[in-house]
Amino acid sequence: MWKYSLIYLSFFLLLCNNCIEVLMREITDEKRKIIEHRTDFLVPGMELAHDICSADGKILFAKNSIISQHNIQKLGNWQIPKVFVYAEVTAANPIVDPKIQKFLNTYNQSVLVVQKAFDDIRATQKVPLDTFTATAADIAESVTEAGNVIDRLYNLPPCDDYTMYHSVNVSAISALIATWLKFPPEQVNAISLAGLLHDVGKSLLPPELLHKPYKLSPEEYEQYRKHVSYGYELVSKIPDISQSITAAVFQHHERRDGSGYPGGITDYYIHPYAKIIAVADLYDEGLTINRENPQSMLSPYCSLQKLWDEVYRLDPKACITFADTMADFLSGNRVMLTDGREGRVVFINKKKPSSSMVQLDDGSVVDLSEHPEVYIHYVVR
């Protein structure tokens, strides 16, 4: 009788424990935030916060295991809908002062924060993660609440160091893409942080290389490419940083056809966060620096068309989602055409944005897709 009582007691305790885990959505364990996560949104690099057990109590994956793509496929095959993982973005000293949050909620202040952080990295070789985490969270929040936030990114004065603006832009655009792809808020924050850190390795490159206005020589380009490895080394030294974020930093120049760097890996092996950042990085790079023709004006229409031209090398879902949604933001702008005429965009050609329909100042409407020799040059501010 006593034997059966112990069995029932053990079963009752196990049942209670399972009920508690089901009811919990966010708990704190040794200062690390734990969240219940849908299996279909898991990505390689996440860390399990609890054991995953089969119906008969066998441990399938142990606590603290780093999730791989193979693990994710197995969980799907086993029809396990949710697991507990450690949050990818944590802050030892979260900002609670509303004045500071309001201060960080402005774009220009975010740029200043990143600039100071880059200066600290150059001096100490250490990444101030709390600073980046707080700024990334603020960027992600502002992006999800704002309207035409992308257009706002480019109402900027000229700057000597485009890297600061570029880092904040990529963070914001990446968070926006993740939001449009229906990622949960925790992952939007993680992707925003990865975007903010993606070029952190440039802090270790010579300033004259970064600021060179014209196309880099082959030797200079090889040196420039090292920023990816430098960035990975810097973020890998951060205690408890999620491997999904370090992977995004290391792989954001990889391409699904294997033509990227540093590893030349193909689609299956590229981290989902890196695929999102690659889209944001390529779009913004065409608007913050143009080494091919530094004297030309930068156009979001041409930059968006570049994404369509590169869609076979990028993640199609992230690229097409961004390009299609961005098209809604570009209608109505006053633009200058390459032949000197001005007008207002009245209809977006989604596949060839720089060849959209424009109503000229004389009232006539021209379909630029029928005039390949003319295209949208830049937005008139």
84 bridge partner residues: 36
In tens, the pLDDT along 196-222 reads 999 999 999 998 888 777 778 899 999
Q: How far apart are CA 160 and CA 162, in angstroms?
A: 6
In tens, the pLDDT along 340-371 reads 999 999 888 988 898 999 999 888 999 999 99
Q: In what order do the strands lie in the sheet with 32-38?
A: 26-29, 32-38, 82-86
Is the model's pLDDT at 318 over the cut of 60?
Answer: yes
Q: How far apart are CA 29 and CA 364, in angstroms?
A: 65
Q: How far apart are CA 65 and CA 296, in angstroms?
A: 50
Q: How much is the average pLDDT of 42-53?
A: 86
pLDDT band for position 290 (50/70/90)?
low
Say which range, 121-130, 205-214, 290-299, has the weakest mean pLDDT: 290-299
Is the model's pLDDT at 14 over the cut of 90?
Answer: no
**Contact residues for 377 (Cβ-Cβ < 8 A; gap 6+):** 296, 297, 299, 335, 336, 337, 338
pLDDT band for position 158 (50/70/90)?
low
Is the model's pLDDT at 316 over the cut of 50?
Answer: yes
Q: How much is the average pLDDT of 170-184?
A: 93
